[in-house]
Structure 1
């Protein structure tokens, strides 16, 4: 399945670009910067929730990250987050969640430079 899901879907960014105008020409880049700044902390939080066995809050965190990742075209991150959300809702014991969370993190690391390049963010 993973080969069929793009790491980065620029069409999602094109949809966001309609929010920009002469008063906010860098809105998408600013929004993307916020997403990129917050995501590593969100992944750390999800690891803490997993360690604590807090399936309900983990599911909510995964849902939130799936939504924001999809908005910025980070489709593999979104896919793995949705899988993690579903697992956390269906399996209170969280068997398999650690592997999915690792997949979220790996997908984020792969797509991060692609998003940065698309919106013109420098390291």
Structure 2
């Protein structure tokens, strides 16, 4: 049975909070804003790469998004990106569209959780 992965793991944010100090009290929220701003264009780029059949670039993009998503505790986004990366490194892209939809859904689900956790306004 597949283990259920958390949409948002706040323990990851706790790990990042050590980077903050009196000089940069909002560092994690600022970093998260950057992540949130870059992610929709990255997902669009993955969609374009998939449509073009560019498996190697798709794998690289999925790997990058998996890494940054994991850093911010977006564990389901990370999981689906890793699956997409692995698939893109295989001989066939069959199933990649479904995985990309799962990435988008997981991001849409976790985005408001991350924003609420860090007090980020729309």
Pairwise TM-score range, normalised by the shorter structure? over 0.9
Q: Distance in 2 between matches of 1:90 and 1:66?
A: 17
**Partner Cα distance (2:13, 2:90) in 1:** 32
Q: Match of 2:89, SS? A: helix
Runs of 4 or more consecutive aligned structure 1 residues displaced over 3 Å after TM superposition: none
* CA offsets 1:32-66 (integer angstroms, 9 cap, x no match): 00000000000000000000000000000000000
**TM-aligned CA deviation for residue 108 of structure 1:** 0.1
TM-score relative to the length of structure 1: 0.97
- Once the two structures are superposed, the pairs formed by residues 1-123 of structure 1 within 5 Å of their partners are 1=2, 4-91=4-91, 93-123=92-122
Shift of 1:75: 0.2
TM superposition shift of 1:90 = 1.0
1:67-87: per-residue Cα shift (whole Å, max 9, x none)?
A: 000000000000000000000
Computed over aligned residues only, the root mean square deviation of the Cα atoms, in angstroms, reads: 0.8
C-alpha distance in 2 between matches for 1:48 and 1:5: 27
Matched residues in 1 for 2:77 and 2:43: separation?
A: 11
Partners of 1:37 and 1:82 in 2: how far apart?
A: 21
Structure 1 residue matching 2:56: 3-state secondary structure: helix
Structure 1, unaligned runs of 5 or more? none
Q: How many residues align?
A: 121
